Amino acid sequence: MASSAVDLHSRIDDTINAVARARKVVAAGKSVQVSSAEERDLMKTVASLWYQKHRPEMVASADTTVLAAVDAPLKRVFDSAAKSAARTTYVASLKAARKALLKLRDSLPASPVVPAPILATTDAPPSFAPLASDQRMQQIMERRWAECVACLRGGAYLAAVVMMGGLLESLFVSKQNRLTDKTLLIKAIRAPQFKGKTLPLQEWTLNHYIEVGNELGWIGEAAKRVSVVLRDYRNFVHPQAEYAQQINLVEQDARLLWDIAKNLTRELLASP
């Protein structure tokens, strides 16, 4: 039985995170060649994660050319682990693998709206005080909440989903702004990486916050999985994405996504 689109996206994200961690480790090394058994084992494990666990799930849904673009650099990583290969070979191969994985993710069908343990809740906005002590910021969040409701009632379903994503992103940003020590975010395993360093917080996207928020316990695993659905539909703000995936967002979809957004909001507000 083929895996669902949600599962496939999650598997790719797992591989991307593993590749980023491996690249960070190998880039930090000082030797020209990678000769330590520990580093080589890590490289082999990352490549094996793709080939043995995640790649077989992609075959039925992914284009063979896109899959091949992921295979090539990860095969170089796997083969290099059998010898003392140059550190630059690993860095370049892992960088290429990440780029190819992102393209693979974008090429897959949008995640379908699936039944989830989400309870319908009131459209009345909650108190945003736990995340935003500033009253003006609280009012901004309340207005965004109200715009989500207005778009739904007016039949502007795509606009509603875009507003939902914006609301959630602002909540994550507010939560990280309240942290006096940002070390937990910067050193999180799933923190987004570029050239072996964690991206500045101002460059984080909703996807980054969802992954790290789940790792830090801000949102649970179930909330993370359903939030991926919301994130994917929000991407249809780009006309080319909507055209390529041939998705028509209907009222039932948008209202389910709104229940997801409301429950995620309350989970963030309640988290320590």
Q: Is the pLDDT of residue 99 over 90?
A: yes
198 strand-pairing partners: 193
Whether residue 79 sits in one domain with residue 24:
yes
* pLDDT tens digit sequence for 221-230: 777 777 777 7
The two tokens of residue 243 are 């055209």
pLDDT given at position 3: 39
Share of the chain above pLDDT 90, in %: 20
Does 159 fall in a domain? yes
Nearest 5°: the CA angle 115, 188, 73 is: 85
Does 55 fall in a domain? yes
Q: How far apart are CA 74 and CA 47, in angstroms?
A: 5
Report the pLDDT averaged over residues 147-165.
91
Whether residue 260 sits in one domain with residue 161:
yes
The per-residue pLDDT of the chain, averaged, comes to 83
End position of a domain, from candidates 90, 107, 124: 107
Question: For the domain that residue 45 is a member of, what is the CATH number?
Answer: 1.20.120
Whether residue 99 sits in one domain with residue 48:
yes
Whether residue 238 sits in one domain with residue 182:
yes
| Neighbour-count burial of 175, counting CB atoms closer than 10 A to its CB (0-12 exposed, 13-18 middle, 19+ buried) | buried
Contacts of 13 (CB under 8 A, 6+ apart): 105, 207, 211
Does 121 fall in a domain? no
Could you tell me the residue range of the domain that residue 20 belongs to?
Answer: 5-107
Number of domains in the chain: 2
Whether residue 198 sits in one domain with residue 145:
yes
The two tokens of residue 47 are 């490549």
**pLDDT category, 110, cuts 50, 70, 90?**
low
CB 157 within 8 A of CB 249: yes
The two tokens of residue 102 are 């992102």
